[in-house]
Amino acid sequence: MRQGRHRRGITGWAVRFCAAVLPLLLLLLGPVARASDGYSLWLGEPAPTPAANRIEAPAGSSSPTIALAMAELRRSLPRVPMPVRLVLADDPALGDEGFGLRIARSGKGQTLLITARRDIGLLYGAFALVRHVRTGGDPGELALTSRPAVPLRMLNHWDNIDGFVERGYAGRSLWDWWTLPDFVDPRYADYARANASVGINAVVLNNVNASAESLTAPYIAKTAALADVFRPYGIRVFLSARLSAPQELGGLPTADPRNPSVAAWWREKADEIYRSIPDFGGFLVKANSEGQPGPRDYGASHADGANMLAAALARHGGTVIWRAFVYADTDPTDRAKQAYAEFQPLDGRFADNVIVQVKNGPIDFQPREPAHPLFGAMPATRLAAEFQITKEYLGFATHLAYLGPLFAETLAAPTGHRPGQTVASTLSAIAGVANIGRDRDWTGSVFNQANWYVFARLAWDPSLAPEAVAREWIVQTFGAEPAVLAAVTPMMMQSREAVVDYTGPLGLAHLFATGHHYGPGPWVDDLARPEWNPVYYHRAGPSGIGFDRTATGSNAIAQYAPAIAARLARPETTPPELLLWFHHLPWDFPMPGGGTLWHELVRRYDRGVATVHAMRRRWASVRGRIDEPRWHKTDSFLAIQAREAAWWRDASLAYWMSLNHLPLPPGSAAPAHDLEWYRQQRFPHAPGNP
C-alpha cells in the first residue's frame, strides 16, 4: 500500500514537472522536427543518405514505369533486411493494376517479392511497400495482395485556362498553360508521383464549366505534354468538353447531338486528340447545368448527347463521363429530386463507354447529405460517384475538416435496392474535385493534403476505415511519435462533424452566403431562382424548421428504395443527422434525448464550437513535436476556424431566434452581435468564386 502510494506520489510529481517544464525546454531547444514547407506531402523528405537496400528489377525490362518503381524504392524505402525483387507474373488474381507483396524463402535466404501482372502494378506495389514499412509494418511479415475496387479513380480539376481555379483555395492552377508545352515544370512529375502513390489513375485537367478553347490544336499540344509526364505513372488525362464547341470552334449552326455534322465534328476532334495522345481518357461533360450548353437545348436527351460523344471516342478506347448534376428553375417542386427525375428513366440507354457521374448527395457537396438516390437505381448504367475534395462548403482551406468520414459515409451507405448493396459496390469510377493548386504545400494547408490522400485511398479500397487512413497519413506526414498520433487522430476524426455542427446540424443544408459560399447566409431570400436561396432549403418560420420531403411534402423519399424510404418517412426512424433534410418539424418537437428540437439544435451548434476549441488545445499540446512552419500555420488556421465557428453559430442562432422568438437554453451564450450585423458582412474578395 505504502509503496504504491509512494510510487504514485513520485509519478504524480514527475508528471507535473514534465507538464510544466518540458514544453518550455522543447521551445528553448527549438523544434525537434525538421522544418517542412509541406511540399513533400505524405511521401516524406528524401533521406540524407538513402538506405542501401538491394533492389532487383524484372529481367530485361525497359519500362519507364518500372524504372519509377525502382527509383521510388531506392529513394523512399527504409532499410529492410532482405533484397527486394520486382516480378511480372501472370496471376489473374492481381487484375490489371493490383500487386502482391510477400516473402519468398529459399536456401539463400529471404527475398521480398513485389509481383504484378503489369508494370503499373509494380509501381503501386512499390509505393505500398514503402507505406507499409514507413508506417511501422514488419517487412518480414508481408503477405498481401491488393487490387483496386474501382477501375477509374480520378481527380477532377476545376481549373480555367487563365490559371483561375473555381472553388480552389490553394492558389493558381498547377497547369501553366501559357508556358506549356515548351516548358514542362518538374512539379508536374511530382504531382503525378503523389497521385500514383495512392492509386489515382485519371485526371481531368480543366474545369467542367469548360472553355471550348481547351479543344483547340495549341491546347491539345499542351495537354499532350502533360499526358507524356503522367503516362509512366499510370495516369490518363481527360478533358472537360463544352458541348457547344462545334459552333464556337467549328462554325456549325448547331450543336444538336443528333445532327450528323455535329457528330462528324466530334469524331474528327477525337481523332485529332488521339493522334497526339494515344491513351487519352476521354471527355467529362457538364451539360444543361448552371448555364452550360447541352442536348436539352435542342430537345434531345442526356443519353443522346452522351452517346454521340461516346461514338466519337469508342474506336480509340475513350470514355465519356457525363455529369448528372442538373437542376432547373422550371421544376418548382424540389431541387433534390431533379437529377433522379432526369436520369433514372434513361437507365439502359447509355452506351457502354459512358459513365454517368453522380454527386455524393442530391444537392451539392454540403457538409452532410444523404446518399444520392441514383446510386443503385440505374443498374444498367455505369455510374461514378463525385466528391468534392476542395472544401467549398467546409471552410475553404483554413478550416480543418478531415473528409474521410464524409467520403466513407456515402460509400458505405446501403442503397436498399439489393441486399448488401452499398454505394461503393455500384461504382465504375470515383471522382474527386481536386483541392490542388500552386501553393507550395499543394492544398493550402497541411491537413488538406489528408483529404487528397484519403480520397484516393478510399477510391482504391472503400472498405478502409477513415481512422486507419488518418493514422497512416499522420505517421507519414508528421512522423511516428505516439504523442502526435494521440493528439492528431482525434482532431481529424472529430473535425468534419464539428463543421456540420457549427454550419448546419440535424440535416440543415445550403445555408451559405451567396456566390463565394464563405460564411453563413441562412436569411438570404432575394436571389433570382428560388432554389438558390437558403430559405428554400431550411423553410424555417415561426412554427418550425426543415424541408418536408415525405409524401406530405416533395416526396423526394420516394426516389429511394422502399426499405429506405419507409425509414425516412417518419422523423422517429430518420437518423437525427438527417432529420431536417427530410422533415419539417415544430421547434418543440421532442427529440430522442428528451429535449426539444430547438434545444438540440443549439446544443449541436455549441458542440461544434467546443470541438474546435478542443482541436486547438490538442494542437497546442504537440508544439515542438511538429516542425515549426507546419505547426504554426495550422495553429493560425485553427484560430481562424475557432473565430468562424463562433460566427457561424452566432449568426445562425440570431437568425433562428428572429423567427421562433425562443430563448436560448440555460448556459448557452447569446450571439455576440445582433442579426443585422451578421447580415451586413460582405466578402467581395473571397477566393475561388468565379
Binding footprint of ligand GCW on the chain (CB under 6 A): 158, 166-167, 208-209, 286, 290, 325, 364-365, 392
Query: What is the Cα–Cα distance from 306 to 302, expressed in whole angstroms?
Result: 6
Q: How far is the CB of 323 from ligand GCW (least distance, A)?
A: 7
Nearest 5°: the CA angle 77, 82, 86 is 65
Q: Can you give the three-state secondary structure of 140-193, one letter per residue?
A: HHCEEEECCCCCEEEEECCECCCCCECCCCCCCCCCCCCCCCCCCCHHHHHHHH
Query: What is the Cα–Cα distance from 498 to 501, expressed in whole angstroms?
Result: 5
Is 392 marked active-site?
Answer: yes
Query: What is the Cα–Cα distance from 553 to 332, expressed in whole angstroms?
Result: 12
For residues 288 and 596, which CB has a smaller minimum distance to ligand GCW in the complex? 288
Q: How far is the CB of 60 from ligand GCW (least distance, A)?
A: 47
For residues 334 and 600, which CB has a smaller minimum distance to ligand GCW in the complex? 334
Query: What is the Cα–Cα distance from 488 to 470, expressed in whole angstroms?
Result: 9
Residue of minimal CB distance from ligand GCW?
Answer: 364
Query: What is the Cα–Cα distance from 286 to 208, expressed in whole angstroms?
Result: 6
Is 472 marked active-site?
Answer: no
For residues 408 and 433, which CB has a smaller minimum distance to ligand GCW in the complex? 433
C-alpha dihedral sign at 606, 612, 618, 624 = negative
Please tell me which residue in 119, 304, 364, 439 is annotated as part of the active site. 364
Q: How far is the CB of 158 from ligand GCW (least distance, A)?
A: 5
Q: How far is the CB of 529 from ligand GCW (least distance, A)?
A: 14
Quick check: helix, strand or coil at residue 686? coil
Q: If we measure between CA atoms, which residue out of 276, 308, 275 comes closest to residue 294?
A: 308
Q: How far is the CB of 512 from ligand GCW (least distance, A)?
A: 9
Query: What is the Cα–Cα distance from 557 to 562, expressed in whole angstroms?
Result: 9
Nearest 5°: the CA angle 217, 219, 223 is 115
Q: How far is the CB of 122 from ligand GCW (least distance, A)?
A: 36
Q: If we measure between CA atoms, which residue out of 422, 389, 406, 351 comes closest to residue 154?
A: 389
For 283, the grid coordinates are 471527355
Please tell me which residue in 56, 268, 290, 331 is annotated as part of the active site. 290
For residues 159 and 606, which CB has a smaller minimum distance to ligand GCW in the complex? 159
Q: How far is the CB of 130 from ligand GCW (least distance, A)?
A: 35
Quick check: helix, strand or coil at residue 321? strand
Q: If we measure between CA atoms, which residue out of 311, 310, 312 comes closest to residue 321?
A: 310
Amino acid identity, position 491: M
Please tell me which residue in 256, 342, 369, 392 is annotated as part of the active site. 392
For residues 209 and 254, which CB has a smaller minimum distance to ligand GCW in the complex? 209
For 461, the grid coordinates are 479500397
Distance of CA 623 to CAs 28, 400, 628, 633, Å? Answer: 12, 17, 8, 12
Q: How far is the CB of 191 from ligand GCW (least distance, A)?
A: 21
Nearest 5°: the CA angle 597, 600, 604 is 140
The answer to whether the CB of 532 falls within 8 A of the CB of 525 is no
Is 166 marked active-site?
Answer: no
For residues 209 and 668, which CB has a smaller minimum distance to ligand GCW in the complex? 209
For residues 342 and 392, which CB has a smaller minimum distance to ligand GCW in the complex? 392
Q: If we measure between CA atoms, which residue out of 550, 554, 585 comes closest to residue 567?
A: 550
Query: What is the Cα–Cα distance from 146 to 126, expressed in whole angstroms?
Result: 12
Q: How far is the CB of 295 from ligand GCW (least distance, A)?
A: 17
For residues 265 and 325, which CB has a smaller minimum distance to ligand GCW in the complex? 325
For residues 160 and 652, which CB has a smaller minimum distance to ligand GCW in the complex? 160
Positions marked active-site: 290, 364, 392
